[in-house]
Amino acid sequence: MKSKCDTVILLWSANTEQYLLPEIGTIKDLQRMISKNEKLPASVLYCVAAIEEQVLYLNGSPQNTFHPAIVEYATQKKSFIAGSDFKSGQTRFKTIMSDYLIGSGIRLSSIVSYNHLGNNDGKNLSEDKCFQSKKISKGGVLDDAIKSNSILYPKTDGKQLSNVICRGDKIDHDVIIRYIPFVGDSKRAIDEYSSLIFMNGVNTIMSYNICEDSLLAVPIMIDMIVLGELFTRMKVNKESLGPVFSYLSFFFKAPITNHHEYVVNSFTR
């Protein structure tokens, strides 16, 4: 295929894998495991193949495919990667709401998200080991908004605050996903946003969203392919943008970047 095309891009959108990976300390450990046919997630094997063929690899699923050894290998081979887990529907709305509340000077303190769906993704996520990957990726979308306001979310360095309702730079955040075959691809998503307001009052906003999950993801896939291909050809001061396309991080729930101290995951950023 590569010999017959100008450009090949590998976009991974398979069902969520289990989050736990074997210990991969270095590139040599990774190569040894592959050569001895030791157990590795399929996404890791495809990613390694893409890196060796210098094919852009976009990870649209939430598992932790991009182990540090994978990123290091991409650097060594001058290949490009981006991810992880496409940010669509409920999570994108959650990003907007957290930006809005925190940007208004309101301390968002709790978010509880519930959704049920009946497609293969919903069935796969009914397995707890796979669900943990999704839960972790969904949880990361709030980090950028929290970092944007150190007054509302002060770092406590482990110290106990006098106000037990205010938990420093933490937001209570939980995600529940249920598999209901009847609804098919039409996902039902319910969110509850509770904020601490004046004199320890509490304000709660709830949302109910019905969305065609796959149809929300497809335009993002197209954006990733178009922008990703563009970035493979771009250089700044004669340096490529790789190995991680950090500028695509907004489109992912759990983005990785070349600079871990700066991740763009909120609308205001």
Whether residue 187 lies in the annotated active site:
yes
Q: Is 193 helix (H, G, I), strand (E, B) or coil?
A: strand
Query: What's 233's DSSP letter?
Result: T
SS (H, E, C) 59-71: ECCCCCCCCHHHH
* Closest listed residue to residue 58, CA positions, set 177, 230, 239: 230
Paired with 174 in beta bridges are 112
Set 85, 121, 144, 213: catalytic member: 85
Whether residue 253 lies in the annotated active site:
yes
**How does DSSP assign 15-44, residue by residue?**
PPPPS------SHHHHHHHHHTT----HHH
* Closest listed residue to residue 85, CA positions, set 237, 209, 265: 265
Whether residue 85 lies in the annotated active site:
yes
Alpha-carbon gap, residue 269 to 266, rounded angstroms: 5
Sign of the torsion angle spanned by Cα atoms 195, 198, 199, 205? negative
Set 134, 135, 138, 144: catalytic member: 134
Whether residue 123 lies in the annotated active site:
no
Q: Which residues of 93-112 are buried (b: 16+ CB within 10 A; e: fewer)?
A: bbbebbbbbbeeebbbbbbe
Set 94, 187, 191, 213: catalytic member: 187
Catalytic residues: 85, 134, 187, 253
